Amino acid sequence: MRIHHLSCGSLCPHGGRLLGGEGGLLSTAEVVCHCLAIESGDGLVLVDTGFGMEDARNPRQLGPVFGLMNAKPRSETTALKQLEGLGFAAADVRHIVTTHLDPDHSGGLPDFPAAEVHVLSTELDAALNPRLRDRPRYVGAHWGHSPRWVRHDAGGDEWFGFESVRILPAAGAEIALVPLHGHSLGHTGVAIRTGEGWLLHCGDAYFNHGEVQTPPTCPPGLRFFQNLNAADNKARKGNQERLRELAGRHGGEIVFLCSHDPHELERERGRTNAALAAE
Ligand SMILES: [Zn+2]
């Protein structure tokens, strides 16, 4: 089972050292949108979509927060264009699994209108009928095409002690949603069994690789942003603590990655290239 690591859009906010831990205070930090494209027995499975073609044409639809974050949606970095570059067509994407529905994760949904979109029920409800305070975070244009939503509710299954729900049984791969609420109300991790163990895409449950290490580290601006942006900050912090414990106990079996850390993206691309070279 082959997994492609894509960055589907980027954000270049000012405050390099405060956000990325490197560079000057006014330099720009590099924030990637790490998505996965899994070649499965049931077509391509995308985990998150980053920004999409319409975001590139009309970045204003992302709202003022993404303007402040210096979002750079470009057509050539959309999942659609990158997959076309790899020889796939939009129709090859049969499933999209979303960690949550913030604009930097859901922008590509309209580019794959035939795909089933797998999401936790709590997140779908939060996005379609947002609380007053959550209204600015979701962009309704990303689901204006009426996606083929597939709701999931965790419970029944267990993954390393976390409540989970197995999805896509026809994919010939073990894929499970592992709810990690807090950043948004229905935020989830996505666990994928690989040849070597497990890959856990943690979405926005953390933003910097240092946050799942013990003791945790995080550039102060990034910590501030996460506290500010959380739909339920207590749950977010609690889940981050559980991820640290998991990494401490099972770090040898599970590869952790989040959406926005450029170091993790580089690490996984390096790992993929090394595996290809060894084939
Ligand atoms: Zn995000």
Residue among 145, 148, 126, 147 at smallest CA distance from 137: 126
For residue 254, how far is its CA from the centre of ligand 1 (angstroms)?
A: 22
More confident residue, 275 or 81: 81
For residue 277, how far is its CA from the centre of ligand 1 (angstroms)?
A: 32
pLDDT, position 17: 65
Please list all protein residues whose beta carbon sits less than 5 angstroms from ligand 1, which is an ion. 104, 204, 259
For residue 226, how far is its CA from the centre of ligand 1 (angstroms)?
A: 10
SS3 136: helix
pLDDT tens-digit series, residues 16-46: 666 666 666 667 778 899 999 999 999 999 9
pLDDT, position 12: 74
**Mean pLDDT score across all residues of the chain:** 93
pLDDT tens-digit series, residues 97-143: 999 999 999 999 999 999 999 999 999 999 999 999 899 899 999 99
For residue 99, how far is its CA from the centre of ligand 1 (angstroms)?
A: 9
Task: Compute the chain's Rg from CA coordinates.
Answer: 17
For residue 279, how far is its CA from the centre of ligand 1 (angstroms)?
A: 34
Dihedral, CA atoms, 119, 121, 123, 125, nearest 10 degrees?
130
pLDDT, position 66: 87
Helix (H) or strand (E) holding 30: none
pLDDT tens-digit series, residues 82-96: 999 999 999 999 999
pLDDT tens-digit series, residues 45-73: 999 999 999 999 999 999 988 888 888 89
pLDDT, position 104: 96
Give the whole-angstrom CA distance, residue 12 versus residue 45.
28
CA 4 to chain centre: 14
Tokens linked to 270:
């390096």
